[in-house]
Amino acid sequence: MGPVPAAVLQLLALIGALALVHVPLGNHMARVYSSDRHLRVERWIYKGIGADPDTEMRWPAYLRGVLAFSVAGVLFLYLLQRLQGILPGSLGFSSVNPAQSFNTAVSFVTNTNWQSYYGEQTMGHVVQTAGLAVQNFVSAAVGIAVAVALVRGFARSRTGELGNFWADLVRGTVRILVPVAAVAAVVLVACGAVQNFSGIHEVGQFIGGSQQWNGGAVASQEAIKELGTNGGGYFNANSAHPFENPTPFTNLFEIFLILVIPFALTRTFGVLVGSVRQGYAILTAMGAIWLGFTALMMWTEFAHHEGALQIAGASMEGKEVRFGVGGSSIFAVATTLTSTGAVDSFHSSFTGFGGGITMLSMMLGEIAPGGTGSGLYGMLIIAVIAVFIAGLMVGRTPEYLGKKIGSREIKLAAVYILITPALVLILTAFSMALPTPPNSMLNPGAHGFSEVLYAFTSAANNNGSAFAGLNANTDWFNTMTGLAMLLGRFLPMVLVLALAGSLAEQKPVPVTAGTLRTEKPMFTGLLVGAVLIIVGLTYFPALALGPLAEGLA
C-alpha cells in the first residue's frame, strides 16, 4: 500500500474512533457538570481547600477562583524548580535559573507547555511528576470549567450565577481527566512507552560512542499531556521520541487523545443547552475546518516538487520514518488546531506552505476543535460574532440560543477576538526590531521571521509547539513568551466569564419566524466563514512575510 492510501486509512480510523465515543463521553461530561452530588474523594478535597461546592458564584467570584488557583500554581511550580537541587530524585540536576523557572511555571499553568529547555537534561522526577504532570491535569480542568460556565450563561436566565469554580475544577479532574488518562497510560505502557523512576543510563550507539538517557513516569505524563491538550514532553524530542511514542499505533492513539475531549464537548454543550442539534452545528463547523486543514497539509507535504524530495517519495526531512508523512501531517494539524503543542515531527522542516498551515491553525484561535474547554468557548465567541453579522445583514436584533446579542455582548466578543493577534504581532515586531533577539534565529530571511512569528503565535495561543530553529532560552524570549502566555490565557477568560454573566442575567427571547436557525447548515457555513475571514485575514500580512514568501520562493 502506498503512503497516501495508508494516510487516508489512518484518517478514517481516527474519525471512526472519535465518532464512536462522541455521544457517551459528551453525555458523561454533561452529567458531571450538572450533577448535584459529590463523591467522597471530592468532599475530602473540598474540606482540604476550605471550599463550599454548593455555593453558586457570579462571574466576578468565578473569575477570582480561576485567577487565585492559577497564581498559586505558578508560585508552587516556580519554587519547585528553584529548589530542585535539594529535592530527592533530582537525578543530579541543579536548580532551574529564575527566568526559565518563571517561563516554565507560567507555561504549564496556562496549559501552554512551551519548553525552552531539554526535559531529560533539566528536570528531575519530582518536578516532572509533582509539578509538571499535576499542572497538566488541573490546567486542563480550568479550561473546561470556564467553557462550562459560558454554556451555563446561555442555558440559564434571570440569574448571574454560573456554578461553582471549585466544584467544576475538582469534578473535571476526578471524574473525567484522571480516569481516562489512567486507561490511556496503561495502553501506552502496553505498546512500549516508558514508565519508571530510573536514574541515568549510559547507552551505546551503533556508530560508536555512547549517550546518556534517563527514564521517568513517561507514559502517564504522555497520556495527560495529550488528553488535556497540554503538550509538554518528558524528552526534548517530545512525541517524536520512541520512549514517548513508540509505534504508528501509539501515534494515532495520541492524536485520538488530543481530539477526543474537545470534539466531545460539543455534545456536552448541546445537552446542557437543551438542544443537541446546536451541538452538532458547532461540531460540524469544527470538523470541517479540521478535515480541510488536514487534507491541505497532506497535499502540500506529499506534493513534492524538488528532485531530492521526489527521490525520497515525500518531504521526509524532520519526520520519523515510523510515522511517515501521513501520520506526521495528521498529528501536526491536530496539535496546532488544538492548544496541545506536542509534536511528532519538526514543523520547521515542513515545506514552506506546510509550516504556514501549522501557524494558521494556531492563528485561527485553536477552535477546530481547540483545547480542552478553550476550543469550545472560543468557537462560541465566534458564533456570537457570526450571529451579530447575520443580524446586521437582515436588519434584526441578533439572537443566539434565546439570548439577545446587544452592545455589551458584542464588545466583549470583539475584544476577545483582538487580544491574541495584538499580542502575537506586537511582540513579534519588537523581537525583529531589537538587536539581540534576531541572534537567536538559526535561519535568516523569511524562515527566520517565521521562527519568531511561530514562537509568539504558539505562546499567545497557549499552544506550546515550536518551529525548532529558534533559540528561545534567552532572558528576552523567556520573559516575553511568558508574558504572552499569561495574557493570552487569562485576558480571554475574563471576557468569556463576563459574557457568561451578562447572558445568564437575560430573560429568554421567544423564537419567531425571523429568528436565525443556528442549528441549520446555513449557520454552520456562516460560522466557518467567520473563522476564516475575520480571524484568518488578521494575520495575512505577517504570513506573507514568512511562510508564504518562503513557499512561493
**Dist. CA 332–CA 355, nearest whole Å:** 9
Question: Does 427 map to a domain?
Answer: yes
Give buried/exposed letters for 165-196 (b at 16+ CB in 10 A, else e). bbbbbbbbbbbbbeebbeebbeebbeeebbbe
User: In what helix (H) or strand (E) does residue 549 lie, and over which residues does it extend?
Assistant: helix 547-552
Question: Does 544 map to a domain?
Answer: yes
Question: Does 161 map to a domain?
Answer: no
Q: Please determine, for residue 323, whether its predicted confidence score (pLDDT) is greater than 60.
A: yes
pLDDT value of position 529: 92
Question: Does 144 map to a domain?
Answer: no
Q: Is 114 exposed, middle or buried (0-12, 13-18, 19+ CB in 10 A)?
A: buried
- Owning domain of residue 525: 372-552
pLDDT value of position 321: 84
Q: What 3-state class would DSSP assign to 222? A: helix
CA 234 to chain centre: 17
Question: Does 235 map to a domain?
Answer: no
121-163 per-position pLDDT tens digit: 888 889 989 999 999 999 999 999 999 999 999 999 998 899 9
pLDDT value of position 64: 97
What is the tally of helices (H) and strands (E) in the chain?
22, 4
Give, in order, the Cα–Cα distances in Å from 158 to each of 162, 171, 502, 503, 508: 12, 26, 10, 9, 8
467-493 per-position pLDDT tens digit: 767 777 788 888 888 999 999 999 999
Closest CA relative to residue 32, chosen from 139, 156, 133, 177: 177
Question: Does 486 map to a domain?
Answer: yes
Q: Please determine, for residue 92, whether its predicted confidence score (pLDDT) is greater than 90.
A: no
**Dist. CA 431–CA 454, nearest whole Å:** 12
**Eight-state DSSP code of residue 200:** E
| AA identity, residue 530 | A
The residues pairing with 403 across neighbouring beta strands, listed in sequence order, are 400
Question: Does 498 map to a domain?
Answer: yes
Question: Does 338 map to a domain?
Answer: no
Give this prediction's pTM. 0.94
**Dist. CA 365–CA 464, nearest whole Å:** 13
Q: Count of domains in the chain?
A: 1
Q: Please determine, for residue 237, whether its predicted confidence score (pLDDT) is greater than 80.
A: yes
DSSP letter string, 336-387: HHTT----SB-GGGS-HHHHHHHHHHHHTTSTTTTSTTHHHHHHHHHHHHHH
**Dist. CA 135–CA 232, nearest whole Å:** 11
